[in-house]
Amino acid sequence: MLNNHKDVSVTYDTIHFMRFSYNSYEPITHEDNLQKLLSETKERIQSRYELSYDLNDVRLKIGSKYSYADIYDAIMHEFLLKSTGKTVWGEKTNLAWSRIPDFFHMFPEGRVLHIIRDPRAVLASWKKFTNAKECDYLDSIINTLSTMQKMYQYQAVFAHKRYASIRYEDLVSDSEFCLKQICDKINLNYDEEMLDHEAYRDLKNKPWKPNTIHSMDVKGISTALIDKWTEELSDWEIYLCELVCERYMKIFSYQLASIDVKKIDVDFVVEQITKSKLSNHGLLHYLLTDCGIERYPSDPKDSSTWQKS
């Protein structure tokens, strides 16, 4: 949607600067480390997406005195703005909510749009989509708890910043209203072209198709997937998800299914959890700390785990 704004160009699942690059090439003031960051980023997006940018132009834009913010800005200008003529770059990235304070530290006048989704819908998506083994998909419950906890915290901490928070369900149910709210909060003029889904384009500038794992033909901005989890999850999965996320689901107005625990085979649930070292660790961590965790079920830097684009 934002990518359709006349001034904004947004990429997704490509550069991932906060995941792959930020604070990972120390000391960044050494030229060798800077060159390594730039070349490895370029090699990754070439290998995975057949996309690229001009290393020399990026290096020239960075200059002699620089920070991670200067590097990030130079890459995004070269990668997104140079060919579009737009003035504002953006990056859609998953599992990076803990980096929002770092982003604002780098860009005090930056803009952040933080989106959450029903944790049961996220669980259903991970269950079908992830290439992680066995019951590792259950760890998505701990991830979603983490992003809801961070959103609740950031709404207060970043109230004075250009930080907007929204539920996916609201965005697809009343897109115009939500986009106007978002634009107001992040100080961006509203552009009705953001609603023109026929003009949406993907990374290769081809007509955009909704990114969904569900076997259904979804066109444009649709509410069809909001409750799809009810068909994809078993009662025990819904119960476990609500058991962990209940407090924040209520805070963010997600109605509980309220599965009857008497109908749940608890021993079976424990057996499923213990099949996954990852999920077992995540749930124990939650029990001991009351906090979620931001992490992938597999190493995103390992190219063997990448989904084909």
Over residues 174-178, mean pLDDT: 96
Least Cα distance to 213 among 202, 200, 201, 229 occurs for 229
Task: Report whether 164 contacts 113 (CB < 8 A).
Answer: yes
Identify the burial level of 24 via C-beta atoms within 10 angstroms of its C-beta, where 0-12 means exposed, 13-18 middle and 19 or more buried. Answer: middle
pLDDT given at position 210: 67
Which tokens belong to 256?
């509980």
List pLDDT tens digits, range 183-220: 999 999 999 999 988 888 877 778 777 665 555 566 67
Pinpoint the alpha helices (H) of 109-262. 119-129, 140-157, 168-173, 175-185, 229-232, 235-251
In the predicted structure, residue 221 carries a pLDDT above the cut 60: yes
| Ranges of each domain in the chain | 1-93, 95-309
Q: Is the pLDDT of residue 298 over 90?
A: no
- Output the six-digit token pair for 3: 């990518």
129: confidence class by pLDDT, cuts 50, 70, 90 = confident
Give the model's pLDDT for residue 131. 63
Average confidence (pLDDT) over 274-298:
94
- State pLDDT tens for residues 8-57: 999 988 999 999 999 999 999 999 999 999 999 999 999 999 999 999 99
Q: At what angle do helices 235-251 and 140-157 cross, to 10 degrees?
A: 0
Asked whether residue 292 carries a pLDDT value surpassing 80, the answer given is yes
Two structure tokens written together for 15: 């550069």
Q: What is the pLDDT of residue 200?
A: 86
For tokens 């991970």, what's the residue? 126
pLDDT digits (tens, 9 = 90+) for 63-105: 999 999 999 999 999 999 998 899 999 999 999 999 999 999 9
Per DSSP, 81 falls in state I
Mean pLDDT of 169-188: 96
- Distance between CA atoms of 242 and 258, rounded to whole angstroms? 8
Count CB-CB contacts under 10 A for residue 255: 8
Give the pLDDT of residue 201. Answer: 80
159 falls in which pLDDT band (50, 70, 90)? very high
- Average pLDDT on 227-234 reads 95
Q: Is the pLDDT of residue 302 over 70?
A: no
Higher-pLDDT residue of 235 and 223 is: 235
Handedness of CA 240, 243, 246, 247 (dihedral sign): negative
What mean pLDDT, rounded, does the chain reach?
Answer: 92
Decide if pLDDT at 309 tops 50.
no
Domain 95-309: assigned CATH number: 3.40.50.300
